[in-house]
A and B are shown apart, each in its own frame.
Chain A
Amino acid sequence: MSGAVMAEPASEAPQEETFEEARPGGRVQAVVAGALPVAIGAFAAWLAFGLRIGSLTDPGPGLWPLIVAGLLVACGVGITVVAATAKAHAPNGTEAFTRGTTAVLCAAGALAVYASLFEVVGFEAPTLLLLFAWLRFLGRESWPSSAVIAVVATAAAYALFILGLGVPLPHLIAL
């Protein structure tokens, strides 16, 4: 799927200064990748005990989650052991976090704000703002083109979802 892009030789396409290739992550990150499943699995197992476990003959609601949580913990332990015993610079399947990670977190934050504003003030203003901010700051488009694309796309979304598909999106402008 995505991420399958192979590096073009530098002679064919001049690289921009800001371009960063994905780098493999370090051992700490690889160990964290194992510790997280253990933590999630343990938490889920603890919650599953709060439900009724029952027995194999008469399974309660907690039995299946407990089995699955156990599996998750076991896999997490496996990942941790492999990561901790691997050679220092061996590839471990992880990708180091880069400066771009901040952009990802900002984008996710913006989407969360967008979702919360949506039902309060209608979809038009938040959509316009989200598009503009994303185009200008994450996409590094120019001010005028960001503004034009944001307005046109918001209008198109209005036409497609509200007029075309009849979705009852909360909206201020009635047509």
Chain B
Amino acid sequence: MDFSSVLSGFAVAFEPQNLLFCLIGVTVGMLIGVLPGLGPAATIAILLPITYSLEPTAAVIMLAGIFYGAQYGGTITSVLLRMPGEASTVVTALDGHALARRGEAGPALGVAAIASFIGGTASILLLTFIAPALAGVALAFGPAEYTVLALIGIFLVGTLGSGSLWKSAAAAALGLLIATVGLDPLLGTPRFTFGTDQLADGIDFTIVAMGLFGVGEILYNLEHRDRPQPRVPAFGRAIPGRMHWLRSRMAILRGSVTGFVLGILPGGGATMSSLVSYAVEKRVAKDPSRFGKGAIEGVAGPESANNAAATSSFIPLLTLGIPANATMAVLFGALMLQGITPGPGLMNDHPDVFWGVVNSMYVGNLLLLALSIPLIGVFVRMLKVRPGVLAPLTVVITMLGVYSIRNNAFDMLLVVGLGLLGYGMRKLGFEPGPFVLAFVLGSLLEASFRRSMRLFGGDVTEFVQRPVSGVLVAVLVLTVVVVPLLRGVRARQSAAAARVTAE
């Protein structure tokens, strides 16, 4: 591995401008992590047009900071209010809130912050060694390999999401269909444009992300806008004692590994790994009955896991050009907007962007560790801002941002339409995640599929016969077997979570 580019990445990460954007990113991330409603994918989507004028490295450093910062922020409301700001911190609420009720909210938050820091940092270290190897392998990939790879990505994101398999697949198919709007990628024939020039270039990814995640989530939250205001318990000093630390250290270690491995899997990500880590901790504990009543391992394990996973989920995006989850799909769009194609070539073509972003995560995690504890009080007070005020402001930023992409009012109408689609999908039980991911991968999948078909003379079995794509097909088949097992684990954990929180 080329260590000089890793080191020069540190120089990039420590440039004052990049430090500033890293700070902005993690602070915004923590904030939206605390606020239920807008998730990191929506926030990043809404901010895309604003990052357009930034330098690429600074833009991606900031957006990445929002993503992993949200994992820290979500913990705070989970522990204090049993009101997870993020799905990945739902499981933390079980034991975290039980600890808070016993008056140990401070130590719980302290352990969570340290666990998050260790999980995140360990994951960056592993990424530094694994990503170059993976990118090296991927450089040899042809259209057949990319076809299967994109299929694996879409399949995993569809099946690992919550909800019905049929609906995830339907959402993915709709995403693939919307991706075909515009000119045919190989022949230039207009498709599904309904005779308007506005659709000839296809639908911009930013518009899909802002519509489905941004406007869609705002509309969805509008329906239940009169949420009761929570009351915040006292939390005292966020410093864990010796006992807490002794109990959590092994959990943090196991959580970091679990998170790193599951984060690389498309669709795995932070939520999945926090649930799996909780299950593991409960299994290895000498006295599993403590879980749900305030076991500190139940906070430490999942928190290290979700941060490790958040970091390692960058690997497939940065080395293969395949986003592993919805937020990575939006970051994919952010890179494309900057004229950078994520994929195996990224590390060689833009080493400053690659290593600058990766190394900025050390800085970001350090900032989060330093900031999260003193700022808990401030963030909790932010919860008092009424959603009725926040929503219209977000909507105006979104709409003006959309207009600024192409200076085109038609795009604003498209965003409103896609926002309604996102709302309708949520009401009918379809997840927007597989849709957006399939949309991102749509043109890659179609182009590689058609190139492979020409190459193979129309023989579909060639996908299995070629060595590399054959292995990938085997992986695809394997996932079909493994996924139901993972879904089983998660279903049990979610059921446990529902029982405890409904007490």
CB of A10, distance to nearest CB on chain B (Å): 9
Q: How far is the CA of A4 from the CA of B26 in the complex (A)?
A: 21
Interface residues in A29-59 by Cβ distance below 8 A to B read 29-30, 32-34, 36-37, 40-41, 44, 47, 51-52, 55-59
Least distance between A83 CB and chain B CB atoms (Å): 9
User: What are the residues of chain A within 8 A of B39 when measuring CB–CB?
Assistant: 1-2
Q: What residue of chain A has the Cβ atom nearest to residue B327's Cβ?
A: A1
Which 9 A-B pairs give the minimum distances between C-beta atoms? A139-B388, A93-B429, A1-B39, A100-B223, A57-B458, A115-B412, A75-B170, A56-B458, A134-B392
Q: Determine which of B40, B87, B215 lies in contact with A4 in the assembled complex, contact meaning CB atoms within 8 Å.
A: B87
Q: A125 to chain B: closest CB distance in Å?
A: 13
- Closest chain B residue, CB of each to CB of A109: B416
Chain A positions within 8 Å of B453 at CB level: 56-57, 59
CB 8 Å contact bits of A73-102 with B (1 = contact, 0 = none) = 001101100100000000011110110110
- Asked if B303 lies at the interface with its beta carbon under 8 angstroms from chain A, I say no
Within 8 A of A (CB), among B393-428: 393, 395-397, 399-400, 403-404, 407, 409, 412-413, 416, 419-420, 423, 426-428
A2-B37, A71-B169 given; 17 more Cβ-contact pairs under 8 Å: A2-B42, A4-B90, A40-B174, A64-B449, A68-B173, A79-B170, A82-B164, A93-B163, A94-B427, A112-B416, A118-B403, A138-B392, A139-B387, A141-B389, A149-B389, A165-B53, A167-B404
Q: How far is the CA of A29 from the CA of B392 in the complex (A)?
A: 29
- List, in ascending order, chain B residues with CB within 8 A of A62's CB: 191
When the two chains form their complex, are residues B192 and A44 in contact, meaning their CB atoms are under 8 A apart? yes
What are 24 A-B contacts with C-beta separation under 8 Å?
A: A1-B42, A2-B36, A4-B90, A6-B83, A6-B501, A12-B231, A13-B228, A32-B428, A33-B428, A33-B430, A36-B428, A44-B177, A57-B454, A65-B191, A71-B176, A72-B173, A79-B170, A103-B223, A112-B416, A139-B389, A139-B392, A141-B386, A141-B389, A157-B396
B50 contacts A by Cβ under 8 Å: yes
Contacts of A76 in B (CB 8 A): 170
Contacting residues, chain A, for B220 (C-beta < 8 A): 2-3, 104
Q: How far is the CA of A1 from the CA of B82 in the complex (A)?
A: 15
A51 CA to B188 CA in the complex, in Å? 12
A172: min CB distance to chain B, Å: 15
The answer to whether B104 has its CB under 8 Å from any CB of chain A is no
- Given A57-B454, A118-B403, is A8 in contact with B230 using a C-beta cutoff of 8 Å? yes
Count of chain A residues near B, Cβ 8 A: 90
Q: Which residues of A contact B352 (CB under 8 A)?
A: none
Q: Could you tell me the distance in whole angstroms from the C-beta of B105 to the nearest C-beta in chain A?
A: 15
Decide if B396 touches A130 in the complex (CB within 8 Å): yes
B220 to chain A, nearest CB (A): 7
